[in-house]
A and B are shown apart, each in its own frame.
Chain A
Protein backbone atom coordinates (compact mmCIF):
# COMPACT_ATOMS: atom_id res chain seq x y z
CA UNK A 1 0.00 0.00 0.00
CA UNK A 2 1.37 3.38 -0.98
CA UNK A 3 0.04 6.88 -1.40
CA UNK A 4 2.33 7.43 -4.41
CA UNK A 5 0.41 9.32 -7.05
CA UNK A 6 -2.94 8.78 -5.34
CA UNK A 7 -3.52 12.39 -4.23
CA UNK A 8 -3.11 15.71 -6.03
CA UNK A 9 -2.77 19.23 -4.67
CA UNK A 10 -5.44 21.00 -6.69
CA UNK A 11 -5.80 24.25 -4.75
CA UNK A 12 -3.41 26.51 -2.88
CA UNK A 13 -3.71 29.88 -1.19
CA UNK A 14 -1.31 31.97 0.84
CA UNK A 15 -2.77 34.89 2.73
CA UNK A 16 -1.04 38.10 1.58
CA UNK A 17 -1.28 39.66 5.04
CA UNK A 18 1.69 39.73 7.37
CA UNK A 19 -0.08 41.76 10.07
CA UNK A 20 -3.79 41.40 10.70
CA UNK A 21 -4.91 43.22 13.86
CA UNK A 22 -8.21 43.95 12.12
CA UNK A 23 -9.16 40.31 11.57
CA UNK A 24 -10.06 37.35 13.79
CA UNK A 25 -8.05 34.13 13.67
CA UNK A 26 -11.11 32.14 12.57
CA UNK A 27 -11.69 34.73 9.84
CA UNK A 28 -8.16 34.20 8.53
CA UNK A 29 -8.86 30.44 8.39
CA UNK A 30 -12.01 31.15 6.39
CA UNK A 31 -10.19 33.52 4.04
CA UNK A 32 -7.47 30.98 3.26
CA UNK A 33 -10.05 28.17 2.91
CA UNK A 34 -12.02 30.27 0.43
CA UNK A 35 -8.83 31.13 -1.44
CA UNK A 36 -7.71 27.51 -1.84
CA UNK A 37 -11.17 26.25 -2.79
CA UNK A 38 -11.47 28.98 -5.45
CA UNK A 39 -7.93 28.32 -6.69
CA UNK A 40 -8.93 24.71 -7.28
CA UNK A 41 -12.10 25.75 -9.05
CA UNK A 42 -14.25 23.87 -6.54
CA UNK A 43 -16.94 24.98 -4.12
CA UNK A 44 -17.19 24.78 -0.34
CA UNK A 45 -19.78 22.03 -0.61
CA UNK A 46 -17.30 19.79 -2.45
CA UNK A 47 -15.16 19.51 0.69
CA UNK A 48 -15.59 16.16 2.43
CA UNK A 49 -12.38 16.10 4.50
CA UNK A 50 -11.02 18.75 6.86
CA UNK A 51 -7.58 18.97 8.44
CA UNK A 52 -6.38 21.51 11.01
CA UNK A 53 -3.85 21.75 13.86
CA UNK A 54 -3.44 23.60 17.12
CA UNK A 55 -3.79 27.03 15.51
CA UNK A 56 -7.46 26.41 14.60
CA UNK A 57 -9.58 28.09 17.30
CA UNK A 58 -11.27 25.37 19.35
CA UNK A 59 -10.09 22.54 17.10
CA UNK A 60 -11.78 20.69 14.26
CA UNK A 61 -15.44 20.68 15.23
CA UNK A 62 -15.80 24.42 15.97
CA UNK A 63 -13.85 25.15 12.76
CA UNK A 64 -15.97 22.84 10.60
CA UNK A 65 -19.04 24.64 11.93
CA UNK A 66 -17.56 28.16 11.62
CA UNK A 67 -16.34 27.49 8.08
CA UNK A 68 -19.82 26.35 7.10
CA UNK A 69 -18.55 23.06 5.67
CA UNK A 70 -21.25 20.71 4.47
CA UNK A 71 -21.65 18.35 7.43
CA UNK A 72 -23.93 16.03 5.45
CA UNK A 73 -20.96 15.44 3.19
CA UNK A 74 -17.94 15.86 5.49
CA UNK A 75 -16.75 12.36 6.35
CA UNK A 76 -13.12 12.65 7.41
CA UNK A 77 -11.41 14.95 9.94
CA UNK A 78 -7.85 15.01 11.30
CA UNK A 79 -6.49 17.48 13.85
CA UNK A 80 -2.98 16.03 14.19
CA UNK A 81 -0.91 18.61 16.07
CA UNK A 82 2.84 18.52 15.49
CA UNK A 83 3.67 22.22 15.55
CA UNK A 84 5.03 23.79 12.39
CA UNK A 85 5.13 20.59 10.36
CA UNK A 86 1.50 19.69 11.12
CA UNK A 87 0.40 20.69 7.61
CA UNK A 88 3.00 18.53 5.88
CA UNK A 89 1.79 15.65 8.02
CA UNK A 90 -1.81 16.59 7.13
CA UNK A 91 -0.90 16.42 3.45
CA UNK A 92 0.29 12.83 3.90
CA UNK A 93 -2.72 11.91 6.01
CA UNK A 94 -5.06 13.47 3.44
CA UNK A 95 -3.42 11.35 0.74
CA UNK A 96 -3.86 8.25 2.90
CA UNK A 97 -7.54 9.07 3.44
CA UNK A 98 -8.05 9.72 -0.27
CA UNK A 99 -6.24 6.49 -1.22
CA UNK A 100 -8.47 4.60 1.22
CA UNK A 101 -11.61 6.21 -0.17
CA UNK A 102 -12.37 8.03 3.09
CA UNK A 103 -12.66 11.43 1.42
CA UNK A 104 -12.17 12.95 -2.03
CA UNK A 105 -11.68 16.69 -1.46
CA UNK A 106 -9.59 17.51 1.61
CA UNK A 107 -9.19 21.04 2.94
CA UNK A 108 -6.17 21.88 5.14
CA UNK A 109 -6.01 25.30 6.83
CA UNK A 110 -3.47 27.22 8.89
CA UNK A 111 -3.90 30.77 10.21
CA UNK A 112 -3.13 32.95 13.18
CA UNK A 113 -1.80 36.22 14.52
CA UNK A 114 1.35 35.90 16.65
CA UNK A 115 2.53 39.32 15.42
CA UNK A 116 -0.64 40.96 16.72
CA UNK A 117 -0.61 39.17 20.08
CA UNK A 118 1.12 36.41 22.01
CA UNK A 119 0.04 32.86 21.19
CA UNK A 120 -1.48 30.74 23.99
CA UNK A 121 1.08 28.42 25.61
CA UNK A 122 0.95 24.78 24.61
CA UNK A 123 -0.26 22.24 27.17
CA UNK A 124 2.40 20.88 29.53
CA UNK A 125 3.96 17.48 28.87
CA UNK A 126 5.22 14.96 31.42
CA UNK A 127 8.60 16.74 31.35
CA UNK A 128 7.23 20.09 32.56
CA UNK A 129 8.56 20.04 36.14
CA UNK A 130 11.99 18.99 34.85
CA UNK A 131 12.31 21.50 32.02
CA UNK A 132 9.91 24.45 32.02
CA UNK A 133 11.88 26.49 34.57
CA UNK A 134 14.97 26.45 32.33
CA UNK A 135 13.32 28.67 29.76
CA UNK A 136 13.71 26.77 26.50
CA UNK A 137 12.52 29.06 23.72
CA UNK A 138 12.81 28.63 20.00
CA UNK A 139 15.94 30.79 19.94
CA UNK A 140 17.98 28.99 22.56
CA UNK A 141 16.69 25.50 21.69
CA UNK A 142 17.95 25.94 18.12
CA UNK A 143 21.01 27.77 19.44
CA UNK A 144 21.94 24.64 21.40
CA UNK A 145 21.79 22.57 18.19
CA UNK A 146 23.93 25.09 16.32
CA UNK A 147 26.47 25.23 19.15
CA UNK A 148 26.94 21.46 19.17
CA UNK A 149 26.96 21.23 15.36
CA UNK A 150 29.77 23.79 15.28
CA UNK A 151 31.64 21.85 17.97
CA UNK A 152 31.32 18.47 16.26
CA UNK A 153 31.68 19.50 12.60
CA UNK A 154 33.37 22.89 12.51
CA UNK A 155 30.29 24.59 11.07
CA UNK A 156 30.71 28.37 11.12
CA UNK A 157 28.47 31.40 11.55
CA UNK A 158 29.57 32.50 8.06
CA UNK A 159 28.21 29.28 6.58
CA UNK A 160 24.92 29.65 8.45
CA UNK A 161 24.70 33.24 7.21
CA UNK A 162 24.71 32.04 3.59
CA UNK A 163 21.28 30.50 4.20
CA UNK A 164 19.84 33.91 5.12
CA UNK A 165 21.67 35.52 2.21
CA UNK A 166 20.05 33.05 -0.22
CA UNK A 167 16.60 33.63 1.28
CA UNK A 168 17.03 37.39 0.97
CA UNK A 169 18.00 37.08 -2.70
CA UNK A 170 14.65 35.37 -3.29
CA UNK A 171 12.59 37.65 -1.06
CA UNK A 172 13.49 40.76 -3.08
CA UNK A 173 11.07 39.49 -5.75
CA UNK A 174 8.19 38.71 -3.37
CA UNK A 175 5.97 41.80 -3.00
CA UNK A 176 4.45 40.36 0.20
CA UNK A 177 7.77 39.56 1.91
CA UNK A 178 8.34 41.28 5.25
CA UNK A 179 12.08 41.67 4.62
CA UNK A 180 12.86 42.48 0.98
CA UNK A 181 16.41 43.80 1.30
CA UNK A 182 19.21 41.62 -0.02
CA UNK A 183 21.69 41.03 2.81
CA UNK A 184 25.31 39.89 2.92
CA UNK A 185 27.15 37.42 5.13
CA UNK A 186 28.63 40.42 6.96
CA UNK A 187 25.15 41.85 7.58
CA UNK A 188 24.13 38.60 9.28
CA UNK A 189 27.30 38.41 11.37
CA UNK A 190 26.94 42.05 12.39
CA UNK A 191 23.32 41.66 13.50
CA UNK A 192 22.90 41.40 17.28
CA UNK A 193 23.55 38.05 18.98
CA UNK A 194 20.19 36.73 20.20
CA UNK A 195 21.07 33.34 21.67
CA UNK A 196 24.56 32.06 20.99
CA UNK A 197 25.55 31.31 18.30
CA UNK A 198 22.45 32.61 16.49
CA UNK A 199 22.30 36.24 15.39
CA UNK A 200 19.09 38.14 14.76
CA UNK A 201 19.37 37.47 11.03
CA UNK A 202 19.70 33.73 11.68
CA UNK A 203 16.11 33.91 12.99
CA UNK A 204 12.86 33.90 11.03
CA UNK A 205 10.29 36.68 11.14
CA UNK A 206 7.15 36.70 13.28
CA UNK A 207 4.08 37.21 11.13
CA UNK A 208 0.32 36.95 11.08
CA UNK A 209 -1.31 35.18 8.17
CA UNK A 210 -2.01 31.70 6.96
CA UNK A 211 -2.44 29.35 4.08
CA UNK A 212 -4.56 26.49 2.82
CA UNK A 213 -4.47 23.47 0.52
CA UNK A 214 -6.99 21.40 -1.37
CA UNK A 215 -5.93 17.78 -1.79
CA UNK A 216 -8.00 15.59 -4.04
CA UNK A 217 -8.25 12.43 -6.14
CA UNK A 218 -6.45 12.06 -9.50
CA UNK A 219 -9.84 12.01 -11.25
CA UNK A 220 -11.09 15.25 -9.71
CA UNK A 221 -7.71 16.97 -10.18
CA UNK A 222 -7.69 16.06 -13.86
CA UNK A 223 -11.21 17.53 -14.26
CA UNK A 224 -9.97 20.92 -12.98
CA UNK A 225 -7.95 23.59 -14.79
CA UNK A 226 -4.78 23.84 -12.69
CA UNK A 227 -1.43 22.25 -13.61
CA UNK A 228 -1.30 18.78 -12.08
CA UNK A 229 0.83 18.39 -8.96
CA UNK A 230 0.77 15.13 -7.03
CA UNK A 231 2.23 13.68 -3.87
CA UNK A 232 4.56 10.76 -4.60
CA UNK A 233 6.27 10.26 -1.26
CA UNK A 234 5.63 11.15 2.36
CA UNK A 235 7.31 10.57 5.68
CA UNK A 236 6.84 11.59 9.28
CA UNK A 237 8.92 11.06 12.41
CA UNK A 238 9.53 12.30 15.94
CA UNK A 239 12.62 12.73 18.11
CA UNK A 240 13.29 13.67 21.72
CA UNK A 241 15.93 13.26 24.43
CA UNK A 242 14.65 9.73 25.15
CA UNK A 243 15.41 9.61 28.84
CA UNK A 244 18.71 11.32 28.19
CA UNK A 245 20.38 8.35 26.47
CA UNK A 246 22.90 9.04 23.69
CA UNK A 247 21.81 12.65 23.31
CA UNK A 248 22.72 13.98 19.87
CA UNK A 249 21.35 17.37 18.87
CA UNK A 250 23.19 17.48 15.55
CA UNK A 251 20.47 15.62 13.70
CA UNK A 252 16.69 15.95 13.47
CA UNK A 253 13.81 13.54 12.95
CA UNK A 254 14.22 14.38 9.26
CA UNK A 255 16.88 11.67 9.25
CA UNK A 256 13.95 9.21 9.41
CA UNK A 257 11.10 11.08 7.66
CA UNK A 258 13.28 11.93 4.65
CA UNK A 259 14.34 8.40 3.65
CA UNK A 260 10.76 7.19 4.18
CA UNK A 261 9.51 9.79 1.70
CA UNK A 262 12.29 9.23 -0.84
CA UNK A 263 11.81 5.47 -0.72
CA UNK A 264 8.09 5.79 -1.36
CA UNK A 265 8.71 8.22 -4.21
CA UNK A 266 11.40 5.99 -5.69
CA UNK A 267 13.78 8.91 -6.21
CA UNK A 268 16.89 10.30 -4.49
CA UNK A 269 17.83 13.80 -3.31
CA UNK A 270 19.84 14.24 -6.53
CA UNK A 271 16.57 14.19 -8.51
CA UNK A 272 15.07 17.15 -6.61
CA UNK A 273 14.91 20.40 -8.63
CA UNK A 274 13.55 22.65 -5.89
CA UNK A 275 13.55 22.36 -2.08
CA UNK A 276 11.23 24.03 0.43
CA UNK A 277 13.04 23.57 3.74
CA UNK A 278 11.63 24.89 7.00
CA UNK A 279 13.76 27.85 7.98
CA UNK A 280 12.75 28.79 11.51
CA UNK A 281 16.47 29.44 11.90
CA UNK A 282 19.42 29.07 9.58
CA UNK A 283 20.62 26.04 11.55
CA UNK A 284 17.25 24.35 10.93
CA UNK A 285 17.91 24.44 7.18
CA UNK A 286 21.49 23.23 7.46
CA UNK A 287 20.64 20.26 9.66
CA UNK A 288 17.62 19.27 7.58
CA UNK A 289 19.61 19.36 4.32
CA UNK A 290 22.07 16.94 5.88
CA UNK A 291 19.35 14.74 7.35
CA UNK A 292 17.47 14.56 4.05
CA UNK A 293 20.63 13.42 2.29
CA UNK A 294 21.41 16.48 0.15
CA UNK A 295 24.91 16.26 1.63
CA UNK A 296 26.70 14.16 4.24
CA UNK A 297 26.19 14.78 7.95
CA UNK A 298 28.56 17.54 9.00
CA UNK A 299 29.03 18.90 5.47
CA UNK A 300 25.96 21.16 5.51
CA UNK A 301 28.11 24.22 6.11
CA UNK A 302 30.08 23.68 2.92
CA UNK A 303 26.91 22.75 1.03
CA UNK A 304 25.02 25.99 1.78
CA UNK A 305 27.98 28.35 1.32
CA UNK A 306 28.70 30.56 -1.69
CA UNK A 307 25.12 30.87 -2.88
CA UNK A 308 24.43 27.17 -3.45
CA UNK A 309 20.81 27.67 -2.34
CA UNK A 310 20.15 30.71 -4.60
CA UNK A 311 17.85 30.06 -7.56
CA UNK A 312 19.74 30.42 -10.84
CA UNK A 313 23.09 30.47 -9.03
CA UNK A 314 23.45 27.33 -6.92
CA UNK A 315 22.72 23.65 -7.30
CA UNK A 316 19.72 23.49 -4.93
CA UNK A 317 17.30 26.45 -5.15
CA UNK A 318 15.47 26.68 -1.82
CA UNK A 319 12.60 28.75 -0.37
CA UNK A 320 12.19 30.92 -3.45
CA UNK A 321 9.42 32.96 -1.77
CA UNK A 322 11.97 34.20 0.79
CA UNK A 323 10.82 31.62 3.32
CA UNK A 324 10.39 32.19 7.01
CA UNK A 325 13.69 34.03 7.18
CA UNK A 326 12.39 36.87 4.97
CA UNK A 327 8.79 36.47 3.75
CA UNK A 328 6.52 35.17 6.48
CA UNK A 329 6.11 32.60 9.22
CA UNK A 330 2.36 32.51 9.86
CA UNK A 331 1.47 31.40 13.39
CA UNK A 332 5.15 30.55 14.03
CA UNK A 333 4.47 27.46 11.89
CA UNK A 334 6.35 27.16 8.62
CA UNK A 335 5.09 23.88 7.18
CA UNK A 336 2.18 25.24 5.15
CA UNK A 337 4.16 27.91 3.31
CA UNK A 338 6.79 25.30 2.44
CA UNK A 339 4.16 23.26 0.56
CA UNK A 340 2.68 26.37 -1.08
CA UNK A 341 5.94 27.54 -2.67
CA UNK A 342 6.81 23.99 -3.77
CA UNK A 343 3.45 23.79 -5.58
CA UNK A 344 4.01 27.23 -7.16
CA UNK A 345 7.39 26.04 -8.44
CA UNK A 346 5.91 22.83 -9.87
CA UNK A 347 3.05 24.77 -11.49
CA UNK A 348 5.51 27.28 -12.93
CA UNK A 349 3.80 30.03 -10.90
CA UNK A 350 6.84 31.19 -8.88
CA UNK A 351 8.21 34.66 -9.58
CA UNK A 352 9.98 34.54 -12.99
CA UNK A 353 13.23 35.70 -11.36
CA UNK A 354 13.28 32.65 -9.09
CA UNK A 355 11.28 30.09 -11.09
CA UNK A 356 13.31 26.89 -11.51
CA UNK A 357 13.39 25.72 -15.14
CA UNK A 358 11.70 22.39 -15.87
CA UNK A 359 10.78 22.02 -12.24
CA UNK A 360 9.18 18.59 -12.09
CA UNK A 361 10.26 17.28 -8.68
CA UNK A 362 10.20 19.22 -5.43
CA UNK A 363 10.49 18.52 -1.74
CA UNK A 364 8.67 20.25 1.11
CA UNK A 365 10.11 19.44 4.50
CA UNK A 366 9.56 20.83 7.96
CA UNK A 367 9.92 20.35 11.68
CA UNK A 368 7.58 21.16 14.54
CA UNK A 369 8.29 21.75 18.20
CA UNK A 370 11.83 22.53 19.35
CA UNK A 371 14.72 20.97 17.45
CA UNK A 372 16.92 21.05 20.56
CA UNK A 373 14.32 19.50 22.84
CA UNK A 374 11.62 17.32 21.25
CA UNK A 375 10.15 17.70 17.81
CA UNK A 376 8.38 16.18 14.84
CA UNK A 377 9.42 16.23 11.20
CA UNK A 378 7.62 15.58 7.97
CA UNK A 379 8.73 15.27 4.37
CA UNK A 380 6.60 15.50 1.23
CA UNK A 381 7.86 14.80 -2.27
CA UNK A 382 5.79 16.38 -5.01
CA UNK A 383 5.77 15.80 -8.74
CA UNK A 384 4.42 17.79 -11.66
CA UNK A 385 2.57 15.41 -13.93
Chain B
Protein backbone atom coordinates (compact mmCIF):
# COMPACT_ATOMS: atom_id res chain seq x y z
CA UNK B 1 0.00 0.00 0.00
CA UNK B 2 2.65 2.51 1.06
CA UNK B 3 4.80 1.65 -1.98
CA UNK B 4 2.05 2.82 -4.32
CA UNK B 5 1.42 5.98 -2.35
CA UNK B 6 2.15 9.23 -4.17
CA UNK B 7 4.05 11.72 -2.04
CA UNK B 8 4.09 15.49 -2.63
CA UNK B 9 7.27 16.95 -4.11
CA UNK B 10 9.19 19.20 -1.69
CA UNK B 11 8.79 22.88 -2.53
CA UNK B 12 12.38 23.62 -1.36
CA UNK B 13 13.87 27.04 -0.65
CA UNK B 14 17.35 28.60 -0.54
CA UNK B 15 17.86 27.55 3.08
CA UNK B 16 17.18 23.85 2.43
CA UNK B 17 17.99 23.32 -1.27
CA UNK B 18 21.28 21.55 -0.46
CA UNK B 19 19.36 18.93 1.54
CA UNK B 20 17.19 18.06 -1.45
CA UNK B 21 20.12 18.12 -3.88
CA UNK B 22 21.89 15.57 -1.67
CA UNK B 23 18.71 13.51 -1.39
CA UNK B 24 18.73 13.15 -5.17
CA UNK B 25 22.11 11.41 -4.73
CA UNK B 26 20.75 9.18 -1.98
CA UNK B 27 22.44 11.13 0.81
CA UNK B 28 20.57 11.99 4.02
CA UNK B 29 21.88 15.26 5.41
CA UNK B 30 21.61 16.94 8.78
CA UNK B 31 22.97 20.26 9.94
CA UNK B 32 25.63 20.69 12.64
CA UNK B 33 26.66 23.87 14.37
CA UNK B 34 30.43 24.35 14.45
CA UNK B 35 30.09 26.84 17.32
CA UNK B 36 28.24 24.69 19.86
CA UNK B 37 28.75 21.30 18.24
CA UNK B 38 25.05 20.36 18.28
CA UNK B 39 23.38 18.62 15.33
CA UNK B 40 19.79 19.52 14.43
CA UNK B 41 16.97 18.56 12.07
CA UNK B 42 15.16 19.85 10.02
CA UNK B 43 18.01 21.98 8.70
CA UNK B 44 18.25 25.68 9.52
CA UNK B 45 20.81 28.34 8.58
CA UNK B 46 20.95 29.63 12.15
CA UNK B 47 21.58 27.08 14.93
CA UNK B 48 18.34 26.80 16.96
CA UNK B 49 20.38 26.15 20.13
CA UNK B 50 23.11 28.83 20.19
CA UNK B 51 22.01 31.13 17.35
CA UNK B 52 25.36 30.88 15.59
CA UNK B 53 25.26 31.11 11.79
CA UNK B 54 28.20 28.68 11.57
CA UNK B 55 26.10 25.67 10.64
CA UNK B 56 27.41 23.09 8.18
CA UNK B 57 25.89 20.18 6.28
CA UNK B 58 26.83 16.70 7.46
CA UNK B 59 25.84 13.36 5.97
CA UNK B 60 23.90 11.32 8.53
CA UNK B 61 24.46 7.61 8.94
CA UNK B 62 20.72 7.32 8.30
CA UNK B 63 20.57 4.95 11.26
CA UNK B 64 18.44 5.41 14.32
CA UNK B 65 15.84 3.98 16.68
CA UNK B 66 12.07 4.42 16.89
CA UNK B 67 11.22 6.96 19.63
CA UNK B 68 7.48 6.53 19.16
CA UNK B 69 4.96 5.73 16.45
CA UNK B 70 1.24 5.47 15.76
CA UNK B 71 -0.42 3.31 13.14
CA UNK B 72 -3.29 5.13 11.45
CA UNK B 73 -5.64 2.25 10.66
CA UNK B 74 -7.56 3.95 7.84
CA UNK B 75 -6.92 6.82 5.45
CA UNK B 76 -7.81 7.63 1.82
CA UNK B 77 -4.42 6.08 0.87
CA UNK B 78 -4.61 3.16 3.29
CA UNK B 79 -3.01 2.51 6.67
CA UNK B 80 0.25 4.31 7.45
CA UNK B 81 2.58 4.58 10.42
CA UNK B 82 3.89 7.95 11.53
CA UNK B 83 6.60 8.22 14.14
CA UNK B 84 9.77 9.82 15.39
CA UNK B 85 13.22 8.38 14.84
CA UNK B 86 16.17 9.37 17.00
CA UNK B 87 19.21 9.40 14.74
CA UNK B 88 22.59 8.02 15.81
CA UNK B 89 23.86 11.59 15.53
CA UNK B 90 21.32 12.78 18.12
CA UNK B 91 18.41 14.67 16.56
CA UNK B 92 14.94 13.14 16.45
CA UNK B 93 12.76 13.63 13.41
CA UNK B 94 9.26 12.93 12.19
CA UNK B 95 8.83 10.27 9.50
CA UNK B 96 6.77 7.37 8.21
CA UNK B 97 7.80 3.76 8.50
CA UNK B 98 7.65 1.86 5.22
CA UNK B 99 8.43 -1.46 3.52
CA UNK B 100 7.54 -3.58 6.54
CA UNK B 101 4.64 -5.08 8.50
CA UNK B 102 3.38 -1.93 10.20
CA UNK B 103 1.74 -3.93 13.00
CA UNK B 104 5.12 -5.16 14.28
CA UNK B 105 6.76 -1.77 14.92
CA UNK B 106 8.22 -1.27 18.39
CA UNK B 107 9.66 1.64 20.35
CA UNK B 108 13.45 1.21 20.47
CA UNK B 109 13.55 -0.76 17.20
CA UNK B 110 16.53 -0.05 14.93
CA UNK B 111 15.65 1.59 11.63
CA UNK B 112 17.47 3.07 8.63
CA UNK B 113 16.67 5.73 6.07
CA UNK B 114 15.21 4.87 2.67
CA UNK B 115 14.26 7.40 -0.01
CA UNK B 116 10.95 7.33 -1.91
CA UNK B 117 10.46 9.16 -5.20
CA UNK B 118 8.24 12.18 -5.77
CA UNK B 119 7.82 14.36 -8.85
CA UNK B 120 10.71 16.42 -7.42
CA UNK B 121 13.41 15.44 -4.94
CA UNK B 122 12.97 12.10 -3.14
CA UNK B 123 11.69 12.05 0.46
CA UNK B 124 13.35 10.29 3.39
CA UNK B 125 11.47 7.47 5.14
CA UNK B 126 12.58 4.81 7.59
CA UNK B 127 12.41 1.03 7.52
CA UNK B 128 13.55 -1.65 9.98
CA UNK B 129 17.34 -2.09 9.84
Q: Within the complex, what minimum Cβ distance (angstroms) separates B51 from chain A?
A: 12
Q: Within the complex, what minimum Cβ distance (angstroms) separates A74 from chain B?
A: 39
Which of B70, B73, B80, B93 is packed against the most chain A CB atoms within 10 Å?
A: B70
List 14 additional contacts besides A242-B48, A373-B94; criterion CB under 8 Å: A130-B16, A135-B80, A136-B94, A141-B70, A143-B70, A148-B68, A151-B68, A193-B73, A196-B73, A241-B92, A243-B42, A243-B48, A245-B49, A245-B92
B34 CB within 8 Å of chain A: no
| Range class of the A interface residue count | 35 or more
Q: Within the complex, what minimum Cβ distance (angstroms) separates B111 from chain A?
A: 14
B129 CB within 8 Å of chain A: no
Does the CB pair A135–B40 fall under 8 Å? no
CB 8 Å contact bits of B68-105 with A (1 = contact, 0 = none): 11111111000010111011001111111000000000
A268 CB within 8 Å of chain B: no
Which A residues touch B20, using CB under 8 A?
129
A255 CB within 8 Å of chain B: no
CB 8 Å contact bits of A185-209 with B (1 = contact, 0 = none): 0000000111111100000000000
Does the CB pair B69–A147 fall under 8 Å? yes
Which B residues touch A58, using CB under 8 A?
none
In chain A, what residue has the closest Cβ to B121? A129
Pairs of residues from A and B, 7 with the lowest C-beta to C-beta distance, nearest first: A244-B91, A143-B70, A243-B40, A130-B42, A247-B92, A148-B68, A129-B10
Docked Cα-Cα span, A141 to B83, in Å, equals: 9
Q: Within the complex, what minimum Cβ distance (angstroms) separates B15 from chain A?
A: 8
Docked Cα-Cα span, A129 to B42, in Å, equals: 9
Given A241-B94, A242-B48, check contact A247 B41 (CB 8 Å): no
Contact of A147 among B42, B70, B75, B96 (CB under 8 A): B70
CB 8 Å contact bits of A117-142 with B (1 = contact, 0 = none): 00000000011111111111101110
User: 11 interchain pairs (CB within 8 A)?
Assistant: A127-B42, A129-B10, A129-B16, A133-B96, A141-B82, A145-B68, A151-B68, A195-B71, A241-B84, A243-B91, A244-B40
Q: Within the complex, what minimum Cβ distance (angstroms) separates B81 from chain A?
A: 8
Which A residues touch B11, using CB under 8 A?
128-129
Docked Cα-Cα span, A135 to B125, in Å, equals: 12
Docked Cα-Cα span, A250 to B31, in Å, equals: 26
Q: Within the complex, what minimum Cβ distance (angstroms) separates A195 from chain B?
A: 5
Docked Cα-Cα span, A294 to B33, in Å, equals: 39
Q: Within the complex, what minimum Cβ distance (angstroms) separates A371 from chain B?
A: 12
Q: Within the complex, what minimum Cβ distance (angstroms) separates B4 from chain A?
A: 15
A249 CB within 8 Å of chain B: yes
Q: How many residues of B contact A (CB 8 A)?
A: 40
A363 CB within 8 Å of chain B: no
Which B residues touch A161, using CB under 8 A?
none
Docked Cα-Cα span, A151 to B107, in Å, equals: 8
Docked Cα-Cα span, A143 to B75, in Å, equals: 15
Which A residues touch B92, using CB under 8 A?
241, 244-245, 247
Does the CB pair A144–B72 fall under 8 Å? no
* B48-76 interface (Cβ within 8 A of A): 48-49, 67-75
Chain A residues engaging chain B, CB cutoff 8 angstroms: 126-137, 139-141, 143-148, 151, 192-198, 241-245, 247, 249, 372-373
Docked Cα-Cα span, A198 to B72, in Å, equals: 10
Does the CB pair A147–B107 fall under 8 Å? yes
Q: Within the complex, what minimum Cβ distance (angstroms) separates A149 from chain B?
A: 9
Does the CB pair B73–A134 fall under 8 Å? no
In chain A, what residue has the closest Cβ to B16? A129
In chain B, what residue has the closest Cβ to A150? B107
Docked Cα-Cα span, A195 to B94, in Å, equals: 16
Docked Cα-Cα span, A245 to B67, in Å, equals: 12
Which A residues touch B91, using CB under 8 A?
243-245
Does the CB pair B90–A244 fall under 8 Å? yes
Contact of A249 among B38, B68, B90 (CB under 8 A): B68
B113 CB within 8 Å of chain A: no
Contact of A144 among B8, B83, B118 (CB under 8 A): B83
In chain B, what residue has the closest Cβ to A196? B71
Docked Cα-Cα span, A372 to B118, in Å, equals: 26
